[in-house]
Copies of this chain bind each other. A is one copy, B any other.
Amino acid sequence: MSQEIAIGLSKNARLAYGLDDVAIVPSRRTRDPQDVSTSWQVDAYGFDIPVLSAPMDSVTSPATAIAMGKLGGLGVLDLEGLWTRYEDPAPELERIASAQPDDAVSLIQKIYTEPIKEDLIVQRLHEIREAGVTVAGALSPQRTQEFYSTVLEAGVDLFVIRGTAVSAEHVSKDHEPLNLKKFIYDLDVPVIVGGAADYTAALHLMRTGAAGVLVGFGGGAVSATRSTIGLHAPLATAISDVAEARRDYLDESGGRYVQVIADGEMGTSGAVVKALALGADAVMLGAPLARSTQAPGQGMHWGAEARHETLPRGFRSQVGTVASLHEILFGPSHQPDGKTNFIGALRRAMASTGYVDLKSFQKCRMAVSPSHLL
Taking Cβ atoms with an 8 Å cutoff, the residues of A that contact B are 1-3, 5-18, 20-32, 34-35, 102, 105-106, 109, 164-174, 197-201, 204, 217, 224-234, 236-241, 243-245, 247, 268-274, 277-279, 305-306, 309-315, 331-338, 341, 344-346, 348-349, 352-354, 365-374
Secondary structure at the A interface, as helix, strand, loop or mixed, is mixed
A333: chain B residues within 8 A (beta carbon): 310-312
| CB–CB A16/B368 < 8 A | yes
| CB–CB B332/A309 < 8 A | yes
A25: chain B residues within 8 A (beta carbon): 14, 16, 197-198, 231-233
Distance in angstroms from A188 CB to nearest chain B CB is: 26
CA distance A313 to B348 in the complex (A): 10
- Of the residues B18, B105, B165, B226, contact of A270 by C-beta under 8 Å: B226
Which chain B residue has the least Cβ–Cβ distance from A347? B311
A337: chain B residues within 8 A (beta carbon): 224, 227-228
| CB–CB A274/B167 < 8 A | no
A1: chain B residues within 8 A (beta carbon): 6, 8-9, 12
A17 with B335, Cβ < 8 A, contacts A10-B279, A27-B198 known = no
- Of the residues B233, B270, B335, contact of A26 by C-beta under 8 Å: B233
- Of the residues B204, B273, B278, B331, contact of A8 by C-beta under 8 Å: B278
| CB–CB A32/B105 < 8 A | no
Can you pick out 7 interface pairs between chain A and chain B where the beta carbons lie within 8 Å of each other? Answer: A8-B240, A9-B243, A10-B279, A109-B334, A228-B337, A233-B367, A374-B374
Which chain B residue has the least Cβ–Cβ distance from A245? B9
A102: chain B residues within 8 A (beta carbon): 335
| CB–CB A310/B338 < 8 A | no
